[in-house]
Structure 1
Amino acid sequence: MRILLLAATPSELGPTVAWLRELAVRQEQNVLSFERVEIEVVFGGLGLISTAFLLGRRLPAPPAVQLAIQVGVAGAFDRALALGQVVNVISEQLGDWGAEDPNGKLLPPAALGFPPGFPFGEGGVLRPAGPSAILPYPTVAGLTVHRATGSQTTITRLRESFPDAQVESMEGAAFFYGCMAAGVDALQLRAISNYVTPRDRSAWKLEPAITAVNTALQRVLTPFIS
């Protein structure tokens, strides 16, 4: 079995990569081998475009990937989620896909006469197959944007257009789209580094979030490598 382990940046996955290297039976470049599984570590870069390109190039190529896991941090719209809390993202939507009306309201592709096809579901939602239901982390709905939200105007617009969205990232929808298009099971684990507010970088808790999501990831990977 081969697992593709993906993060936007090396810092988001560093603790787990070090942990895997200590336990691996064999290492060859970015692939760490164990008795029953090979774990391939890749970094997609910041945002939708680089993530989509990486997956579009990698997933159709051999050796075949059976499970892809994306790891990272996220901003939270949902204040019931605590800073540093690990969440299991099970659905994604694109936060600025479509057109804008004169009042700034988002018009999704379906409203323009272009309903999205596979792998999108109703309302433009991406919901991949995968073993996410067995994980001991809260399931949340994700929203993917090209730029991290930082103004009250944008927050209000997103909350009106996507009232069910609980967390925000810059790569999640590209990850789900790529895995669903390629027929690969997908998991997306994130930890809350900040609330989605008018931009205040001093309020972010990035390091605790990275520590938390790596602890959770190692818990998920342990049955595969033990």
Structure 2
Amino acid sequence: MTPRLLVVTAVAAERDAVVRGLGGTATERPVPGGRVLLRTALADVLAAGVGPAAAAAGTAAALAAAEYALVVSAGIAGGFPPGAPVGATVVADALVAADLGAEGPEGFLPVAALGFGTSEHRPPEALSRRVAEVLGAAYGPVLTVSTATGTAARAAELTRRHPGAVAEAMEGFGVAEAAAAHKLPVLELRTVSNPVGPRDRAAWRIGEALEALADAFARLGKEPAVLGVGERT
């Protein structure tokens, strides 16, 4: 068999950038729940929706319908300066549920500290490091939030709780939860459209980040062995 890749994005613009990077030729394939993914030679690419719940549901539906070797959460993100400036590519060494938990007198308590499960998933280290190396990407935790950061105070709090965090997005942990339920490895790859901090849409560079996303997948598509897919077994 030929191991395949499932790439999960939030929205169609991210999905289309991934497909463009992988060669631009894709066929539609329905999955349960009324969703449609795009199948390329190397990967199936699904726009599952915004936020961790939609990401988990969409990923789970796709994984129930076909077999994959690896699941990748991909898209654009906010980057934590100075390590991940606008235009940078980032690869996660951990996919972290940054706002899943409870507030207490001592501050935020992650869900793991409450005894209700895990707060993070880790990709295979050799895999994530190799992908980061090939792409020249910033490497560190990528935080999954349900409410995007819009203030300097919130950005400072997140970096205090998660030293070394390179980016903030809204789907990675949800994708990872579904992958873990199917006992599959997960990876998160993002390109930075804006700094994490005060909300300033005029400063966002969404088009540039989408082009960087397409470029990242074009480079990986030329070296599928880096991901452990596309090889005859």
TM-score (norm 2): 0.80
Residue 21 of structure 1 and its aligned partner are, at CA, apart by 6.2
SS of 2:191's partner is strand
8 A contact 1:20–1:32 mirrored in 2: no
Residue 98 of structure 1 and its aligned partner are, at CA, apart by 1.5
Give the CA RMSD over aligned residues: 2.4
Does 2:45 match 1:41? yes
Deviations 1:28-87 (A, max 9, x none): 5345354xx5x222111111110011122222x242111222221111123122210111
Does 2:130 match 1:134? yes
> Structure 1 pair 150/33, CA: closer, same or farther in 2 (3 Å)?
closer
How far apart, CA to CA, are the structure 2 residues paired with 1:28 and 1:152? Answer: 42
Matches within 5 A, 1:90-169: 90-102=93-105, 105-112=107-114, 114=115, 116=117, 120=118, 124-129=119-124, 131-135=127-131, 136=134, 137-169=137-169
Deviations 1:74-118 (A, max 9, x none): 111231222101111121211212211247x20223443x153xx
Aligned residues: 212
Q: Which moved more, 1:131-140 or 1:15-24?
A: 15-24
Matches within 5 A, 1:3-22: 3-18=5-20, 20=22, 22=24
The code of the aligned residue for 1:91 comes to A
How far apart, CA to CA, are the structure 1 residues paired with 2:74 and 2:158? Answer: 23
Instruction: Give the structure with higher Rg (CA).
Output: 1
How far apart, CA to CA, are the structure 2 residues paired with 1:186 and 1:8? Answer: 16
Q: What residue in structure 2 maps to residue 195 of structure 1?
A: 195
Matches within 5 A, 1:62-73: 62-73=65-76
8 A contact 1:128–1:179 mirrored in 2: no
Residue 20 of structure 1 and its aligned partner are, at CA, apart by 4.6
8 A contact 2:190–2:213 mirrored in 1: yes
Q: What residue in structure 1 maps to residue 181 of structure 2?
A: 181
